[in-house]
Amino acid sequence: MRFRALALGAVLIAAGAWSASAAVSESQFPPHTVADLIAICAPAKDDPLMTGAVNFCHGYAEGAVDVEEAHEMQRGGRKLFCLPTPRPPRGSELASFIAWANERPARLEMPAIDGMFIYLAGKYPCPASVVRKRRSR
């Protein structure tokens, strides 16, 4: 369980190279919207809050995956997404998540956790056999 969470966190925190955003502000902690999450996860290398932002992003992603894993273990729980094995290369998900969010600007205003889970569910859907197995419990 911890490996899966760390893998997702590592994927989301590859920062600087993807950033063309404004400076991170303290009001974006915790991230309320997808736009806040993107700003936190991809700050400019010279942003004074860069270290804290990247660390927060890592913890946010890890915590979200931990909660999802705990939820899926509950009776009647539904698996929201199935991360692949091997995990995506470090940094690949952040660019993809940002592109996904920017495809429809309304996504930037959705709650951060909703956006993250909707993105992961769309990118890494679970095979029908996993979904059926979970429902039959």
Q: What is the per-residue pLDDT for 130?
A: 62
Q: What is the per-residue pLDDT for 7?
A: 45
Q: What is the per-residue pLDDT for 82?
A: 87
Cα distance between residue 38 and residue 94, in whole Å: 8
pLDDT per residue rounded down to tens, the chain (137 residues): 444 544 444 444 433 334 445 789 988 999 999 999 999 999 999 999 999 998 898 888 878 878 887 887 888 888 888 888 887 665 567 888 889 999 999 999 999 999 999 999 999 999 886 654 444 44
Q: Is the peptide bond before 30 cis (omega within 30 degrees of 0)?
A: yes
Three-state SS letters, the chain: CHHHHHHHHHHHCCCHHHCCCCCCCHHHCCCCEHHHHHHHHCCCCCCCCHHHHHHHHHHHHHHHHHHHHHHHHCCCCCCCCCCCCCCCCCCHHHHHHHHHHHHCHHHHHCEHHHHHHHHHHHHCCCCHHHHHHHHCC
Structural domains in the chain, sorted by start: 2-135 (1.10.890.40)
Question: Which residues sit opposite 111 in a β-bridge?
Answer: 33
Residue 54 burial (CB count, 10 A): 21
Token reading at 93: 């998900």
